[in-house]
Amino acid sequence: MSERIVNLSHVHDPATTPLYPGDPPFTLETVAEIGSDGYYLRYIRQGEHTGTHWGAPIHFDPDGLAADQLDPEDLMLIAVRIDIREKCSRTRDYAISVADLEEWEREHGRIPNEAAVIAWTGWDALWGGPEFLGVGEFEGHQPGFAPEAVRWLLDTGRLGRRGALGIDTFGPDLGIDESYTVSRLLYREHRISLECLANLAALPAVGARVLIGGPIYRGGSGGPAGVVALVS
């Protein structure tokens, strides 16, 4: 059976890529031109968590594995997409609940073990504009997973021995949670995160696998990623 490839990564571009507050600047500098040097080359400066990216356990767990210590199997997972756009459109602080996950399962069946559970909040459509970060009183507010929902996914085995939380925002935590409760739960259990995902309209609720590509940095907390879905 042939598979269709879906790109789940935004184009990395300093002009349009939002930066998480406090992250290092994202810059591109041309250092060689074909006309003068015979080849074209740019010098890229960006943080490990700029644009579409993934996080390794060491990102929040000092005893967790770094990017280069994970197995290839950690970076290719069954994917399920939870469409939570309607609820997130009503409040930027919406927390994806156990009830939301159970409602999804009533329609689509049990979330497979060792899955990448990807939340489609609608933030992928806001990429490159001020609403992605939030403006005025809404600055820094973004939806995410409720800690209770992540504990449920972990305790019931749905994230398995390896698995991931994915989302189209800056990360799986609510923007107002300055303690990063969800990330700390996730990473201490040898799981990864997929963040700032794109094109989630093209990802089915079931029937896909995700592959996380890109450079693997020694000692890395993750890295910019080319995430693709293989859809049956």
Domain containing residue 163: CATH number: 3.50.30.50
CB 82 within 8 A of CB 68: no
Question: Is 222 contained in some domain?
Answer: yes
Place of tokens 């990102």: 59
Token pair recorded at residue 56: 């390794």
Question: What is the model's pLDDT at position 160?
Answer: 87
Question: Is 59 contained in some domain?
Answer: yes
pLDDT at 45 over 60: yes
pLDDT tens-digit map of 78-93: 999 999 999 999 999 9
Question: Is 152 contained in some domain?
Answer: yes
CB 39 within 8 A of CB 32: yes
pLDDT at 175 over 60: yes
Question: What is the model's pLDDT at position 149?
Answer: 98
Question: Is 139 contained in some domain?
Answer: yes
Question: Is 37 contained in some domain?
Answer: no
Rounded (5°) CA angle 14-204-150: 75
pLDDT tens-digit map of 7-27: 999 999 999 999 999 999 999
Question: Is 36 contained in some domain?
Answer: no
Question: Is 217 contained in some domain?
Answer: yes
pLDDT tens-digit map of 119-139: 999 999 999 999 999 999 999
Question: Is 123 contained in some domain?
Answer: yes
Instruction: Provide the whole-model pTM.
Output: 0.96
Mean pLDDT within 160-185: 96
**Spatial separation of the C-alpha atoms in residues 139 and 20, rounded to whole Å:** 11
- Name the nearest CA neighbour of 111 among 197, 228, 206: 206
Which H/E stretch holds residue 102? helix 98-108
Q: 106 phi and psi, to 5 degrees?
A: -65, -30
- Domain hosting residue 56, numbered range: 4-13+48-231
Question: What is the model's pLDDT at position 1?
Answer: 57
- Domains contained in the chain, number: 1
